Amino acid sequence: MEERTQDYRFVTTAEDLAGVAKTLQGAEVIGLDLETTALSPRDGRVRLLQLATLEETFIVDVFEAVDLSPLTEILEGGPVKVGHNLKFDHQFLDALHSVSLSPLFDTMLAAQVIDGGNYAASYSLESVAERYVDESLDKSEQRSDWSGKLSEAQLAYAAQDARVLLSLHERLAASLEEEELERISRIEFEAIPTIARMELAGIKLDVARWKELEVTVRERRDRAAERLESFFPPPEGVLPLEGLGPRLNLNSPKQITDAFRTLGIDLSDTKVWTLLKVDHPAAKALLEYRELQKKLGTYLETYPGFISPKTGRIHANFLQCRVPTGRLACTAPNIQQIPHEDEFRRCFVAEDGNTLVIADYSQIELRILAEVSEDPAFVGAFQRGVDLHSLTAATMYNVSMDEVTKVQRTAAKRINFGLMYGRGARSLSAQLGTDEERGRQLIDEYFANYPKVQRFLQRTANRAMRDRTLRTLAGRLRKFGNDPVADDRGAMRREAMNFPIQGAASDIAKLALIYVREELEGLDARLINSIHDEFVVECADERAGEVSEKTRAAMVRAGEEILEKVPVEVEVEVSREWRK
């Protein structure tokens, strides 16, 4: 049965869907929205599917018209589907109705790309509509019960959300063209299905191993706390009483600074960089304690709580455009920032009968720095396949490549990456464990060997200060504030130096998300994690070789689409555990 009102046509039977599909066939753009009974397809269903053109709006009651196959051709091809946070819609339609939306235009991502990292407070549909088309949306029905009998107010709300997408599309598409952001926006839109499916797939945590590790790390933390306290004398007239626990609150900056004062050490603060420069074992013990405490509180004690009881896997939330460089961010929980130690990563495993293909770009950010700076020594090293860190160490320490020590290579690696992130002598010397004068000397030697790198970094920072904008090789835009406080100028220059490099790495990674999905289509394989320049794919054991080659090919293709002078290399490992 189909109901018509002035504002929408309400469709409740599968038979009527064929007529809807025929009407939509000639449309160039369709506003698309869903109303669901929960925030995840693991917990709820699609109640309404709204489809809007400039002429009319259809509201499909999916509880009644369950079979959406008459709309498959429209939803998976043909008109551009315009939505707000389409990752959400894609997940529900993919998981529950086997529909993969394409092509896409996401108004939330478009607004974020246009803002160029200078993000507004909110990117809800209500906020974006108010900013771009000056339309106020009544969102009072947003959290109403969509599982029962629907009210006229609910249907009107649903129709309004689909219709406003069309005017938003027109305005945002014009802005993207005006800002020359069409290529970047296409990359973002085409990455949506991969990210949606990656979240749906989830990642498996071996809980028994994780709990064993929690016990081990807690014991290490307690021993570190005891060792730290042993450096500080007890207060006069106070006898230690067994069983009463530590005397110091090791998480209190005031108590820590007071305790260090008893050792004749005045700390300006208790930040990492300050403690790294303190030549006393108590500082090292404090840093060790904090690291272990963070591992416990941030990871070991909390991650099992994120396991879905229905799938037995962790389904994290990847945020596509909330970092100025364009990198994916991750929450609930953050599975991108798992500690690198094998004892942590080996707890993330493949299901029985499956294996993990772990692929990551080799020194992609340094390759981008070579590309954008055009420094002949940098470019030449990558073209010859020379290890850049060893080459840097050899030139800085005036030794042959064969004579470079592990310590020298590690120092060169820190300098290579540190200067790319705009680090100065103070920060670099603290990281290398040397004095500031030696840090400045190392920087001078580095830039003497790579003068075009220095010119690129300085030119980039100056352009950001002057123009308040920068772009990556693919055209991603970064907008800086117009009135930076004097104290923020250094931070702004550092961010500016890094943006074209890390931003280009993000562009390559998002292209790789698209190409990996295309390459793996039809195989028993799925992407389960993306850690900036590293990808983790889970596949059937017997497919590991094929999946490895296809993943490598997709990632190289993405890199070569943006880098022209410098070769792209991808390293691939196969393991049942997430470690290399």
CATH code, domain carrying 554: 3.30.70.370
Residue 184 lies in a domain: no
Q: Decide if 31 contacts 166 (C-beta within 8 A).
A: yes
Per the structure block, which two tokens stand in for 365?
């950010």
Pairing of strands 570-575, 469-471: unpaired
Tell me the C-alpha distance between 50 and 22, whole Å: 16
Model confidence at 1: pLDDT above 80: no
Tell me the C-alpha distance between 251 and 60, whole Å: 55
- Confidence (pLDDT) at 490: 81
Q: Decide if 545 contacts 351 (C-beta within 8 A).
A: no
Q: What is the CATH number of the domain that holds 262?
A: 1.20.1060
Residue 105 lies in a domain: yes
**Average pLDDT of span 278-299:** 93
Residue 191 lies in a domain: no
Q: How far apart are the first and last CA of the chain?
A: 58
Residue 198 lies in a domain: no
Supply the DSSP string of 84-110, one letter for each residue.
Answer: SSHHHHHHHHHHHH-----SEEEHHHH
- The residue segments making up the domain with residue 544 are 316-364+506-575
- Confidence (pLDDT) at 2: 55
Q: Which of 433, 464, 496 is where one domain is finished? A: 496
Q: What is the CATH number of the domain that holds 63?
A: 3.30.420.10
Q: What's the pLDDT band for 241 if we cut at 50, 70, 90?
A: very low
More reliable by pLDDT, 142 or 568: 568
Tell me the C-alpha distance between 287 and 270, whole Å: 10
Model confidence at 6: pLDDT above 80: no
Q: Do 102 and 12 sit in the same domain of this protein? A: yes
Tell me the C-alpha distance between 127 and 87, whole Å: 19
Model confidence at 243: pLDDT above 50: no
- Confidence (pLDDT) at 445: 84
Give the contacts of 277 (CB within 8 A, at least 6 positions apart). 430
- Confidence (pLDDT) at 88: 98
**Average pLDDT of span 102-125:** 94
Residue 539 lies in a domain: yes
Q: Do 458 and 540 sit in the same domain of this protein? A: no
Q: Do 336 and 475 sit in the same domain of this protein? A: no
- Confidence (pLDDT) at 3: 59
Q: What is the CATH number of the domain that holds 433?
A: 1.10.150.20
Q: Worst-scoring range by mean pLDDT, 231-240, 282-291, 333-342, 423-432?
A: 231-240
**Average pLDDT of span 243-255:** 68
- Confidence (pLDDT) at 131: 94
Q: Which amino acid is at 283?
A: A
Tens digits of residue pLDDT in 300-355: 999 999 999 999 999 999 999 999 999 999 999 999 999 999 999 999 999 999 99
Tell me the C-alpha distance between 36 and 308, whole Å: 19
Q: Which of 496, 517, 537 is where one domain is finished? A: 496
Q: Do 563 and 529 sit in the same domain of this protein? A: yes
Model confidence at 45: pLDDT above 50: yes
Q: What's the pLDDT band for 482 if we cut at 50, 70, 90?
A: low
Tell me the C-alpha distance between 411 and 93, whole Å: 50
Residues β-bridged to residue 9: 4, 58
Model confidence at 421: pLDDT above 90: no
Residue 187 lies in a domain: no
Model confidence at 245: pLDDT above 70: no
**Average pLDDT of span 371-377:** 95
Q: What's the pLDDT band for 483 if we cut at 50, 70, 90?
A: low
Q: Do 58 and 25 sit in the same domain of this protein? A: yes
* 268 CB-contact burial (10 Å; exposed 0-12 / middle 13-18 / buried 19+): exposed
Q: Which helix (H) or strand (E) holds 199?
A: helix 182-201
Q: Decide if 288 contacts 224 (C-beta within 8 A).
A: yes
Tell me the C-alpha distance between 518 and 375, whole Å: 35
Give pTM, 2 decimals.
0.92
Q: Do 291 and 327 sit in the same domain of this protein? A: no
Q: Do 405 and 550 sit in the same domain of this protein? A: no
Model confidence at 436: pLDDT above 90: no
Q: Which of 441, 466, 496 is where one domain is finished? A: 496
- Confidence (pLDDT) at 244: 35
Q: Do 122 and 95 sit in the same domain of this protein? A: yes
Q: Do 453 and 560 sit in the same domain of this protein? A: no
Model confidence at 486: pLDDT above 60: no
- Confidence (pLDDT) at 15: 86
Residue 308 lies in a domain: no
Q: Do 419 and 548 sit in the same domain of this protein? A: no
Average pLDDT, the chain: 91
* Distances, alpha carbon 298 to alpha carbons 52, 213, 290, 294, 500, in Å: 44, 14, 11, 5, 31
DSSP alpha helix (H) spans, 207-321: 207-229, 253-261, 272-276, 281-294
**Average pLDDT of span 261-287:** 88
Q: Do 214 and 325 sit in the same domain of this protein? A: no
Q: Do 158 and 238 sit in the same domain of this protein? A: no
Residue 202 lies in a domain: no
Tens digits of residue pLDDT in 375-412: 999 999 999 998 888 988 888 788 898 999 998 898 88
Supply the DSSP string of 504-515, one letter for each residue.
Answer: HHHHHHHHHHHH
Structure letter (DSSP) for residue 323: S
Query: Could you tell me what percentage of the chain is helix, strand and coil, using 3-state DSSP and rounding each to the nearest 5?
Result: 50, 15, 35
Please state the domain count of the chain.
Answer: 4
**Average pLDDT of span 17-45:** 96
Model confidence at 484: pLDDT above 80: no
Q: What's the pLDDT band for 286 if we cut at 50, 70, 90?
A: very high
